[in-house]
Amino acid sequence: MSITPRTVISTDADLVTSINVFTVTPGRQAELVAALDRTTRVFFATVPGFRSANVHASQDGTRVVNYAQWASAGHFEPMLRMPEARPHLAEIGALVEQSDPRLYEVRSTHHGALTAPR
């Protein structure tokens, strides 16, 4: 039986999270989402230490958020300097007006009560 990897948001997870908020012109949001999906599949997911990525598109068409989990900052930061990363990072950079990348640690999580659907 194979186990499908999933994003786990937990204070117990020994991970760092890269959250990058991209600002785009509304006409470029879908293009950026497609580029992030493609580059994650063909490059980022192959890098040692990569755990998961999730791409969120704002309903107003002006933001895209990339939420990616890595084993450690020691895995994430060297990836940014890899020659193989340059064309992927350049493609993404050419599509955005602004980006705000940061590394985070999960400090707390909260959940609503589980109820049966009506």
Residue 7 has pLDDT above 90, yes or no: no
Following DSSP, what letter does each residue of 30-84 receive, concatenated?
HHHHHHHHHHHHHTGGGSTTEEEEEEEE-TTSSEEEEEEEES-HHHHHHHHH-GG
Residue 2 has pLDDT above 90, yes or no: no
Residue 27 in tokens: 């006409």
The model's pTM is: 0.88
CATH architecture designation of domain 20-102? 2-Layer Sandwich (3.30)
Q: What is the residue extent of each domain of the chain?
A: 20-102
The whole-angstrom separation of Cα 84 and Cα 74 is 17
Backbone phi and psi for residue 83, each to the nearest 5 degrees, phi listed first: -55, -35
Residue 4 has pLDDT above 80, yes or no: no
pLDDT in tens, 40-63: 999 999 999 999 999 999 999 999
